[in-house]
Structure 1
């Protein structure tokens, strides 16, 4: 097997790993949103913490790859890796927005409860 073929397989494996971890995180974030909508805020926040763990795993894998490339190793870019990067970045953006979204849901929940009492 040539170095190019081995390199391509390694990059694809890394890409699949990033997609898997980022996908798990995205699923947790979407589930968190559903919990918040239903007023289950403790569960919503727990799911965000779980998502953060998966994002960190994906980000660590990405960082190792970037370190290899920065040290002079010529890496082959693949569609799988591009998909992994896209999935990770959009998931990170969603996670960054979750604190605000959960806060807004909690505020609405409190206000609705106050309106029911009055």
Structure 2
């Protein structure tokens, strides 16, 4: 895999992670306002995009583990940054959902 192909994988990771991030932030606004009816749909959408980003990442990990010498550039590293922060956001949003449910169900 050449540097240009790795950059494209990085762009995919950024795009999928960005879509997941947007969905999660929209969900957070919803639950902050006490709207819980679409939680499962939002989470499913975010999780699907995170899965696609993770699959792209796994492709690169598999290639490197198989002995391929990869010329990783900044775009791929940027994608990794997006993926990891969005995974963290996903975990935090799950906690916020529970906190807001408690607040509105009192």
TM-score normalised over the length of structure 2: 0.95
Q: Structure 1: where are the runs of 5+ without partners?
A: 1-5, 112-118
1:16-54 Cα shifts (integer Å, max 9, x gaps): 000000000000000000010111112133211110000
Matches within 5 A, 1:36-75: 36-75=31-70
Aligned match for 1:21, one of 13, 16, 20: 16
Whose helix fraction is larger, Structure 1's or Structure 2's?
A: 1
RMSD in angstroms over aligned alpha carbons? 1.1
2:30 aligned partner: 35
Checking the alignment, whether the CA contact within 8 Å between 1:69 and 1:75 is kept in structure 2 is: yes
| Structure 2 unaligned regions, length at least 5 | none
Q: In structure 1, the residue corresponding to 2:37 is in which secondary structure?
A: helix
After TM superposition, give the deviation of residue 64 of structure 1 in Å: 0.8
Query: Structure 1 stretches (4+) deviating beyond 6 angstroms?
Result: none
- Pick the structure with greater CA Rg: 1
Q: Distance in 1 between matches of 2:45 and 2:29?
A: 15
* Number of equivalences: 106
Aligned-partner Cα distance in 2 for 1:57–1:86: 15
- TM-score, normalised to structure 1, is 0.86
Query: How far apart, in 1, do the equivalents of 2:81 and 2:100 lie?
Result: 27
